[in-house]
Amino acid sequence: MSTDKKIALISGANKGIGLETARQLGKLGMTVVLGARDLAKGQAATDELKKEGIDARAVKLDVVNPEDVKAVAKTIEKEFGRLDILVNNAGVSFEGVGGNSTLSVSEENLRTTFDTNFFAVVSVTRALLPLLKKSEAGRIVNVSSILGSLSLHATEGSPIYEAKVFAYDASKAALNAFTIHLAHELKGTKIKVNSAHPGWVKTDMGTDAAPMELVDGAKTEVDLATLGADGPNGGFFHMGETISW
């Protein structure tokens, strides 16, 4: 089924920043496809958006499950024939906040974090790229974190200098490298790839101690998902400001 509406897929979209990103894109008149590990939770989130007049669909998408990734790509191809926006939002952290976990984080947690925050993003993006290439203006948004900035981690006195949650930080730094490399490979096409730092947001991961509300936490992702032809490619941003790699 073809449609003139833009089609956006957001992973990890049944709650938090992912759901708010879907809400804001939906209010712009897009069809939003909510990827969720638990389809029932994804459907509940979809029902919530539909009550707000948003065209929303739910799909089962555990980003570390290759069968889910293949199935979602087939579903989008069958129902829409293309994909305009991919927001790689799904992410995990097992280390808490603050301190330095470089020597204390378990190898299991290190691998599990990378599986979701890095390897899965590469897999999902590769699977959806043929459909993004069919868009008139494909946009890929990799939801990263300022904690993935190597420059700021190495700069004494920076806002994140003392906050070294190793597995999470390293996985987001790797994700940023993927953004740079993919943007370069797609240079000259109509697809733009950027990393977003949402900010410290009140979510399950961010906790209630975070200073930002969800509505603001989704703004950077939405801005990068709706870039015009003259917008940046291969950058790292928060609220329109560039973050150093």
pLDDT tens digits, 98-123: 679 999 999 999 999 999 999 999 99
Q: Is the torsion defined by CA of 226, 131, 214, 208 positive or negative?
A: negative
| Average pLDDT of the residues in 133-140 | 98
Considering the entire predicted model, what is its pTM? 0.94
Contact criterion met (CB below 8 Å) for 206 and 195:
no
Active site residues: 168
pLDDT tens digits, 166-181: 999 999 999 999 999 9
CATH dotted code for 7-91+118-146+168-242: 3.40.50.720
Contact criterion met (CB below 8 Å) for 2 and 77:
no
